[in-house]
Amino acid sequence: MSRVIIITLLRFFLLLFIQVFLLKNFGYYNLATPFLYILFILLLPFNTPNWLLFVLAFLTGLTVDAFYDTLGVNAAACTVLALVRVLFISVTVQRDGFDNEPEPSLGIMGFRWFFFYAVILTLVHHTTLFFLETFHFDEIQYTLMRIVLSSVPTILLMLVYEYIFYRKKER
């Protein structure tokens, strides 16, 4: 197997292990729950075909749903996340840059781009997840508070993860 596939598989299992066994019970009164597993979808290589991206996103969300007993809410949110990822990358990264940049990581793309990328995609994922979970607008303030308060630790954990596995861009 190629090196990229092995690294991607290891990242998948590591992030799911952290999410399911460490972060599942970590939260603040059901308001701030970090969802670090979405970093797997964010860090997939640029040259991943769209059909494979959507399948991997759906299966990742479905795996988390199996451990969280959430009946497909994470799978739907991850699929929406994959769609927004495709749109975001097509708008912000030039096509000819894909050959030189293998993946959208902090060390390769730079802090500012990666931070903006992580914030936008995390907010999209959390908005989809929490609105599908509540499925009504009666408690919109509570839902918006959950989106914001869950996004902050998620993004912080993403940055910590990226700095732990920081790899400078090779020129």
CB 46 within 8 A of CB 98: yes
Residue 169 lies in a domain: no
Q: How far apart are CA 103 and CA 143, in angstroms?
A: 32
Residue 29 lies in a domain: no
Residue 104 lies in a domain: yes
**What b/e string do you get for 93-110 counting C-beta neighbours within 10 Å, with b at 16 or more?**
beeeeeeebebbbbbbbe
CB 132 within 8 A of CB 73: yes
Q: How far apart are CA 67 and CA 161, in angstroms?
A: 22
Tens-digit pLDDT profile for residues 72-92? 999 999 999 999 999 998 888
Domain that holds residue 94: 3-23+37-164
| pLDDT above 90 (res 97) | no
> Of all residues in the chain, what percent carry a pLDDT higher than 90?
46
CB 57 within 8 A of CB 82: yes
Please give the pLDDT value at position 8.
85
Task: Say what angle helices 73-92 and 111-134 make with each other, to 10 degrees.
Answer: 150
Residue 89 lies in a domain: yes
Please give the pLDDT value at position 96.
44
| pLDDT above 60 (res 99) | no
Residue 113 lies in a domain: yes
| pLDDT above 70 (res 68) | yes
| pLDDT above 60 (res 153) | yes
Q: Mean of the pLDDT values across residues 38-60?
A: 92
- 26: helix, strand or coil: coil
Q: Mean of the pLDDT values across residues 112-132?
A: 94
CB atoms within 10 A of CB 25: 8
Q: Output the average pLDDT for the chain.
A: 86
Split into its structural domains, the chain has a count of 1
> Which of the listed ranges 80-84, 92-96, 99-103 does the model predict with the highest average pLDDT?
80-84
CB 32 within 8 A of CB 153: yes
Residue 137 lies in a domain: yes
Please provide the size of the chain in residues: 171
| pLDDT above 70 (res 169) | no
Q: How far apart are CA 12 and CA 62, in angstroms?
A: 13
Please give the pLDDT value at position 166.
72
Q: Mean of the pLDDT values across residues 29-58?
A: 90
Residue 171 lies in a domain: no
Residue 18 lies in a domain: yes
